[in-house]
Amino acid sequence: MSGWSLALVLILASTNACEQNASEDSLVAGRALRWSMRSQVPFKREAARLKAVRCFRTGIFAPAPEENRSQCALWSGELLRAGGLGAAASRDLMLGVGLESGEWSARCALSAGELCLEDGRAAEALLMFSHVVNIAAPTRFTERAAVLAGGSLAAMGEAAAAVALWRSVAESGVTPRHRFEAFESWGRHLLALGDLEGAAGVLSQCRSTLEASALEVTAVGRALRKLLSDSSLARAIRREVMSRYRKT
């Protein structure tokens, strides 16, 4: 047997094994391939990506619990999105949104909505974020959806509604990270309108509101301290202050 023939047999055997594995446990097979992408040279990484997507897609349509199928849709969509294949990613994520009404459906909707926002389709994005709220997903997902929905509303010219959403999560939310993101979105919106004093006030409120959570000796506290120290709103305010100073 020639070298090329042997290589072809090995590739076909590998593909068949993957599909058989995926039909039995698509999540395990796909995760193993996704993990194998780490520290690989580009062409091997992309080959592993496509194999993982194939395994996860087998799982989407397999006769399995909807929760597992929705999880497969999420991982397939995320891998395609990371590979720059937005249209294919949206298709798989939308399949996951319609499969069940739990955590994985919510995560698919969030990712699909983010893709819509990136493409300038704010109204479609808003529908995805509204889905997360309507299925009564866990708070960490509904608060993330509310922050992103604010971005959709702002892009649609509904500034007052956007600020209301951001302010609600920032002041009354439960998840520190999403409260921080809401403050940041709110402040950047004000800064974009030329309201430097308002943006500075939002930044000050953010720091005072989240100070107690940031001081906690926990993983959440450490992550929040890093977010506060790397605040893009703070950097934008400093740039605006310096710009105004130079002009005067």
DSSP 129-192: HHHHHHTT--HHHHHHHHHHHHHHHHHTT-HHHHHHHHHHHHHH-S-HHHHHHHHHHHHHHHHH
Within the chain, where are the H helices? 3-36, 42-60, 66-82, 86-97, 103-118, 122-134, 139-155, 159-172, 176-192, 196-214, 219-229, 232-247
At 37, the pLDDT band (50, 70, 90 cuts) reads confident
* Closest by CA position to 235, among listed 211, 209, 203, 193: 203
Closest by Cα among 191, 161, 79, 97 to 135: 97
The pLDDT score that the predictor gives to residue 34 is 85
Residue that wins the pLDDT comparison between 15 and 87: 87
Please say if the pLDDT value at position 248 is more than 60: yes
User: What is the rounded average pLDDT of the residues 105-115?
Assistant: 95
Spatial contact of 182 and 173, defined as CB atoms under 8 Å apart: yes
Please answer whether residues 67 and 102 qualify as being in contact, where contact means their C-beta atoms are separated by less than 8 angstroms: yes
Token look-up 């000796």 returns: 217
| pLDDT exceeds cutoff 50 at 19 | no
As a whole number of angstroms, the longest Cα–Cα distance in the chain is 80
pTM exceeds 0.85, yes or no: no
Q: Which helix (H) or strand (E) holds 217?
A: none
228 pLDDT above the threshold of 60: yes
Contact 21, 30 (CB under 8 A): no
